[in-house]
Amino acid sequence: MQTVNQYVNELTVEAEDLDLIQAKEHVNLSELLCDDLWLVRQLHYGVAGAMERQMDYLLNTLIPNTESRIARLNGQTVSRESISVDWAAPTNNEEVHINDENPGQAVDDAETFKENLQKRVRTAAIIYVIHVKAHDEASNLLQQFTYQQIKDKAESNRQARSKAA
């Protein structure tokens, strides 16, 4: 299981990367639109949180599930034993499922889907980092908690509530 921060810390992004440039432009446009530091701070917090949740889902659910699907399509799964007893009535013997899916095409489609997911998680990571940094800058000016401090405090409160229960 890979954490969002592990992924982000391992990510390499060049200064001229189009996703990075557009994320920075989005931050600047958002700040112009909001024109209020408290509102700007909340906007950055919301976007960063949304991207963090999306990355967690992609990294720990959708990409691993897609990799499993690719392995199954390539026949790289553990074979299962079949049950053969004469005292149980057979089922669906007359309606055997015929798989008319092209296996090669299915693998290609799954590989393409996985590549698109990896691009998506990369883009989400860039947006996440830019908005966390923008949130923290606004928080510093307003003398408020940073993004990570807010998350840490929320986790601490959850643990305290669970101990009290």
Total structural domains within the chain: 1
Which residue range is the domain that position 159 belongs to?
A: 18-75+107-164
Percent of the chain whose pLDDT exceeds 70: 86
Query: Is 130 a domain residue?
Result: yes
Helix (H) or strand (E) holding 110: helix 103-142
Asked if 63 contacts 120 with a C-beta cutoff of 8 angstroms, the reply is no
Q: How many angstroms from the chain centroid is the CA of residue 85?
A: 45
pLDDT of 95:
66
Tokens representing 35 are 């024109």
Query: Is 22 a domain residue?
Result: yes
More confident residue, 91 or 8: 8
Query: Is 114 a domain residue?
Result: yes
82: pLDDT strictly greater than 90: no
Distance (Å, rounded) from C-alpha 34 to C-alpha 78?
A: 55
Q: What is the pTM of this model?
A: 0.82
pLDDT tens column, 101-152: 677 888 999 999 999 999 999 999 999 999 999 999 999 999 999 999 999 9
More confident residue, 139 or 95: 139
pLDDT of 97:
59
Query: Is 57 a domain residue?
Result: yes
Q: What's the whole-number mean pLDDT along residues 39-57?
A: 97
Query: Is 4 a domain residue?
Result: no
